[in-house]
Amino acid sequence: MTGLKKSTEKHLMLFSGRAYPELANEIADLMGVGVVPMRALSYANSEIYVRFEESVRGCDAFVVQSHCAPVNEWLMEQLIMVDALKRASAKRITVVAPFYPYARQDKKHAGREPISARLVADLFKTAGADRIMSVDLHAAQIQGFFDGPVDHLWALPVLADYVQNKYDTSEMTVVSPDAGRVRLADMWTDRLNAELAIIHKRRDPDVANTVAVHEVVGEVEGKVCLLVDDMIDTAGTICQAAEALKARGAKSVIAATTHAVLSGPAAQRLNASAFEEVIVTNTLPIETPEPIEKLTVLSISPLISEAIQQVFTDGSVTKLFNGQS
């Protein structure tokens, strides 16, 4: 026999960027591992430097980074981390991006526009990523932008369990805030065995970027209305939707969304809104200029840790969501 044969065991290592280390620490605690120590700094001219303080040769690497503001800085840091792992001979590199950066730029709405979500996927691939894991992509087609496996996790089980335990779903109507979220709302209705309603936004033709009328399609009078969406950014759309539901006789309005971006006036709008409760997950750090009294934050860490375990052991991620992806 020629050559050398060596039996080796798979070795999982978890890495965290600086954007939201608390989430990575939660995941690490649930998995019973430690986050690999890393020296990271930003130079005076804003360039980023990273170096891992342990050998990563032959490891199955999972690089966790939450893309909150400033998104470009944390995206670049994750790319540099992936490049460092590739050059240090990590065997497989999985990018764990709970909130996929630039996900809303998934198609061209007009001429001479970029498709930035595709560009991000290309950057991850070029840097050396073998796989991407994300939660509630803004558009399902983003899975096709990356040349490799994409694990699309759903926060619906985490959010729905909370809603079912706290509210009477027999008097609940699930509401899609616009036509683009109807598939998500339909999944919620199946889970809660509830009715479905849709809000159709009609814009004022004489005033740019202004919603003139919210038409509600479905029965909401006397109902507990659950508005579902993938994210809350400035909270303008979802707060207007809540007002429209209350104006049409809704008993109460709650919201369940995955990503709490909460930019600009979001906190002020939510505090002044008609919502009884706003339920989100901790895919992003909650950093607002004022506390949001109606906000409930659920941990996404158990879902991500279980998905990482399935990937590491060559199990099935899809089985966590009853075959949906």
- CA-to-CA distance for 121 and 101, rounded, in angstroms? 10
- CA-to-CA distance for 304 and 28, rounded, in angstroms? 10
- CA-to-CA distance for 195 and 191, rounded, in angstroms? 11
For 76, the enclosing helix (H) or strand (E) is: helix 71-87
Helix axes 156-166, 301-312, angle to 10 degrees: 140
- CA-to-CA distance for 40 and 50, rounded, in angstroms? 4
- CA-to-CA distance for 239 and 13, rounded, in angstroms? 41
Give me the active site residues, please.
201
Q: Are strands 92-97 and 131-135 parallel, antiparallel or unpaired?
A: parallel
Inter-residue contact 91 to 130 (CB < 8 Å): no
Cα–Cα–Cα angle for 164, 242, 67, nearest 5°? 75
The dihedral through the CA atoms of 66, 71, 77, 78 has a sign that is positive
